[in-house]
Structure 1
Amino acid sequence: MSMQPEPTALRRLSHIELFSSSRHHLGIYRCVVVTCRYQAAARPLDAAALHHALGRVVAQQPMLRVGILGQDTSQARFSHLASVDLRDHVAFTTLECGDEARYEELLMETQCWHHDQLWADVETRAPWRVVVVQPGAHVERATASQDVLFAFHHAIMDGTSGRQFHELLLAALNQPEPCPSSGETALLAFPDPPRLPEAQEDVVPFRNSISFAIKTVWNELGPRRLRARAVVPWHGAAVDFGLPHTTRARAVDVPPEAVARLLAACRAHAASLTALLHALVLASLARRLPADQAASFAADTPISLRPYLGPGADVALRPLLRCLLTSTTHAFPAHVVAALREPAADPDALVWDAARRLKAELAERQASLPADDVSGLMQYIGDWSAFWAKKDGQPRADSWSVSNIGALPSPAPDASWSITRVCFTNGPMVAGSPIGVNVGSVAAGTLTVTISWQEAVVPVELVDGLAEDLAAFARRPHETGEFAA
């Protein structure tokens, strides 16, 4: 048997890419999944058509044809993969079940399974996979459709790129070109090393004041006993690396007419959909958790740094799939939570108050970026394994995260293929938020809110109740004009 050549090292991982690579090595964050429902005007998607379209996407996107060298170190580098065999990355599966509801349950279980898998041979195999899922013959659908699951290592791209991947795949499927047989298109050759998108810190001009840098580094890396005592919000169970990595998730589909009503209400109340979802999660958890367990909350919002690329960023590399990401935190102090628990409270007024405040906070944070941002201080973390080890056994910093990857464009009326649903999950954040609220949608179509968590970190009854509340909150404004029952 011939020896495989050593992979060629490319650029070092950026600090935000190391953030994810180090978590994968420790098994505490494994992948992101974006699943889209593809509807065909003619025949269903088969291996030949998928390989043909996917091959063109892989050829366009260098982050889909790299591995990771030294993932267990803080000096990890991407590796050039001279070939990609799509048969190693693509699978088709049929979920046998009796009805549509059971199919949706099995589909979510499939998505959760992918979150629990580690990427093997990341030095020589690109860490992503595509699985085409469809129901068995017993499930009748008005229109034929298949769910295309895209799972990927967070170090090679972020959630927004996961959505863009599906846009690129859809465009490739809709380009009328002769489709060769699957075997002819499965093995892709890339003899020349690719030009990768730049590291985040090389193209985003972070500007951190001395006071912000000292405060942030001290709070993160300074001796715990010497730091100022902070209010600890409700955060589920403490970080525990010993818990099994078992992903659980619930999806809430909001139909187009209800989405349109929510968006109109957001405009009328000077809010945004992301801010409103934070406020609705707050209202639900404040009602379902007792005051002695959850006096206050905190939440996290990821922010794409694509709008903040500096003039030195290569214009040709801007559209590429990549990881450009930071986040901001919101506090919900005790008096805000207590107001929602008052018997005489006006839930709608309090929800909109919170949503307006959060939209203003997000707008203020986005206006100040990339100044005084924690992502610009990651260079001071010299040992990522030690960084994560310090979090084991400690309280979590927040209560939930709302991550919105935005909407896919509406399909063209004459398109052969269209996407009708987007289901996005971050998976368990073992050392982060106990509850992930993940949002994806199709323009003028369905919006899907998926709640994900690690088993045993929060009670399943609590998340089931949150899912029920979000479904009701999304439905009622369209039916009655109010969130409250």
Structure 2
Amino acid sequence: MERFHITKAFLGLDTVILASAQYTTQDGTVLTPETLFPALRNLIESQAPLGLQTMGDEATANVSWVRLPSVDLSRVVEFSGERELADAYESQLARPIKTQTALPLWRVEVLADNTLIFANHHAICDGESLLSFHMLLLRALQETSTSTSVDASPVVMVPDTTLLIPPVEQLVDVRPSFLRTVQELYEHFAPASWRPARFAWSGHPTPFKPPPQINTHIRFLTLPSAESSQLLAACRAHGATITSVLYVLAINVLSRLLQCDPLMRYKHIATITAISLRGAANLPREAIIDYPSSRTTYPRLDPIFSWADAARESRELASMKTSTAKTVGMLRWLFGQYVPFMQEKLGTRREAGFTMSNIGRFETPDVKGRWSVGRTVFAQSDVIVGHALTFSLTGDPSGALNFSFGWTDSSVDTPFVEQFIEGLREAILEII
């Protein structure tokens, strides 16, 4: 999985994943190098992924990790001042993380309102781990703000004693069954007219070559805590989860939009639901890892919401918490040929119309202090050969649900996305 993400970024097919959190105090303390650097020093000295770079031939995916001797925070932390969050996200998503340099595989941007954006290379950190970083950073801020001796210098020596958590295939059984292998081979080699994706909407076809720069559009939507609580209560009453309900609502809204297609080309929607393998590996919530997996489905167009559909989706997702590890295991059958595997996806049908990722709610660490976290947001790229539209969400400590939607001009039309976002908002409110 780590090599897969390194290759994808190397080929210009992906950039970064990122999440932000707003840090606040009652007295309005501002995040400055003097307040932030000691906390980041704490993280670098304790978290091995934050002191890594790559070494080797990325063109063949023959790469290894190398521990950096030091991290210069003045080169990876930017204090950008007044800036809209969406603008900052779009700027970050347009800038891939450079590999094989003297810099780590992550960076930070701090806005004027104390919103801190953590952007990283997907090879060291998955979506849930973005929240893990912010949980660790909040704890470090609490600890350093009460210490009488902190080091605010920008250069942090990377200790040689920290250890990486093993890659996913060492802690989770990812070996695919014979049946799963046959299914995957069929979907890969069967004629296009035989595949389940034939009549499925997946946005515009992929470009014939990677663009010079990935310009991802970002829109946000927030469901306040009161409405989120009502939605959660309704989900529980019907044996569903917020993830399953939002998935079904997304299908409903897209179905209504696609039924307006004058050519009536679509019967299904190609979807991907992200599933973390953290639980399958029995790893703690604050571990920084790259343990993602996913489930691909082709639901029929259906404009009408059903609680029965949402409950069934919830049961299916729960049953796949470990079985989707076999998707990761299928990478073994590429025999290291990641580059041609990815390049052959250019100029073809996309993998999905949308990918839904719910990284969960921010969990405030036990360490108390002056700092607290407000709004949290999560976003990702992978809009060149992956999905036409990203649909990402997370919950902040207040109980609010924060959504982000990402796409490019080549993946789906902006007016279509705006109609989808508004339709989803109205559908959620109707459910409530």
Same fold (TM over 0.5): yes
Match of 1:274 in 2: 243
Match of 2:312 in 1: 357
Match of 2:26 in 1: 41
Q: Which has the larger displacement, 58-67 or 350-359?
A: 350-359
Match of 2:295 in 1: 328
- The answer on 1:93 being equivalent to 2:80 is yes
SS of equivalent to 1:287:
helix
Alpha-carbon offset, residue 441 of structure 1: 1.2
Over aligned residue pairs, what C-alpha RMSD do you find? 2.3
Rounded to whole Å, the distance in 2 between the matches of 1:466 and 1:230 is: 24
Q: Is the 8 A contact 2:20 2:116 kept in 1?
A: yes
Rounded to whole Å, the distance in 1 between the matches of 2:48 and 2:329 is: 25
SS of equivalent to 2:387:
coil
Q: Deviations over 1:40-59 (max 9, x none)?
A: 22221111110000110111
- 1:6-17 to structure 2, matched below 5 A, reads 16-17=1-2
- 1:29-428 to structure 2, matched below 5 A, reads 29-42=14-27, 43-70=29-56, 71-95=58-82, 106-134=84-112, 145-175=113-143, 176-178=146-148, 180=150, 182=152, 184=153, 186-190=154-158, 192=160, 194-220=162-188, 222=189, 225=191, 228-232=194-198, 233-240=200-207, 241-243=209-211, 244-289=213-258, 290-291=260-261, 292-309=264-281, 320-333=287-300, 337=301, 339-340=302-303, 347=304, 350-366=305-321, 368=323, 370=325, 373-381=326-334, 382-410=336-364, 415-428=369-382
Match of 1:455 in 2: 409
SS of equivalent to 1:174:
helix
Q: Is the 8 A contact 1:410 1:442 kept in 2?
A: no
Alpha-carbon offset, residue 444 of structure 1: 4.4
Identity in percent: 26
Alpha-carbon offset, residue 236 of structure 1: 0.9
Q: Deviations over 1:254-273 (max 9, x none)?
A: 10000000000110111111
Alpha-carbon offset, residue 91 of structure 1: 1.0
Rounded to whole Å, the distance in 2 between the matches of 1:331 and 1:162 is: 29
Q: Deviations over 1:410-434 (max 9, x none)?
A: 5889641111111100124211111
Match of 1:138 in 2: none
Structure 1 residues 476 and 387, CA, compared in 2 at 3 Å: closer, same or farther?
A: same
Structure 1 residues 40 and 431, CA, compared in 2 at 3 Å: closer, same or farther?
A: same
Q: Is the 8 A contact 1:49 1:179 kept in 2?
A: no
In our comparison, the structure showing a higher alpha carbon Rg is 1
Task: Give the number of aligned pairs.
Answer: 421
SS of equivalent to 1:308:
coil
Q: Is the 8 A contact 1:252 1:470 kept in 2?
A: no
Structure 2 gaps, min length 5: none
Structure 1 residues 207 and 116, CA, compared in 2 at 3 Å: closer, same or farther?
A: same
SS of equivalent to 2:114:
strand
What amino acid is aligned across from residue 22 of structure 1 in structure 2? T
SS of equivalent to 1:303:
strand
Q: Which has the larger displacement, 120-129 or 252-261?
A: 120-129
Q: Deviations over 1:311-340 (max 9, x none)?
A: xxxx8x99531101111122212xxx2x52
- The answer on 1:18 being equivalent to 2:3 is yes
Structure 1 residues 393 and 328, CA, compared in 2 at 3 Å: closer, same or farther?
A: same
SS of equivalent to 1:125:
coil
Structure 1 residues 411 and 119, CA, compared in 2 at 3 Å: closer, same or farther?
A: closer
Structure 1 residues 455 and 476, CA, compared in 2 at 3 Å: closer, same or farther?
A: same
